[in-house]
Amino acid sequence: MAKRDKHKKDAQLIVRINKDDRDAFIALCKEEDTSAAREVRRFIRHFLAEHRSGSGAEPENRKG
């Protein structure tokens, strides 16, 4: 399996948030030269790594 296939993005998560928070988040992501999707994925990977019991895994440091 190619490395690219391993990290295929094939699922969607829909989250409802306040419009002002969304707009501020999008604007800050643009200032930081990143995307909202990338930052949400980064948060999820980090959260999972922190809360997996006994794994001691660090989040992978990859873009997107």
Has residue 35 been placed in a domain? yes
Has residue 1 been placed in a domain? no
Instruction: Give the model's pLDDT for residue 50.
Output: 94
Has residue 57 been placed in a domain? no
Instruction: Give the model's pLDDT for residue 6.
Output: 73
Instruction: Give the model's pLDDT for residue 57.
Output: 55
Digits of tens for pLDDT over the chain (64 positions)?
Answer: 556 667 788 999 999 999 999 999 999 999 999 999 999 999 999 999 999 976 555 566 666 6
> How many domains is the chain partitioned into structurally?
1
Has residue 5 been placed in a domain? no
Domain that holds residue 32: 16-51
CA 55 to CA 62: how far, in whole Å? 19
Has residue 46 been placed in a domain? yes
Has residue 6 been placed in a domain? no
Has residue 2 been placed in a domain? no
Instruction: Give the model's pLDDT for residue 12.
Output: 95
Instruction: Give the model's pLDDT for residue 9.
Output: 85
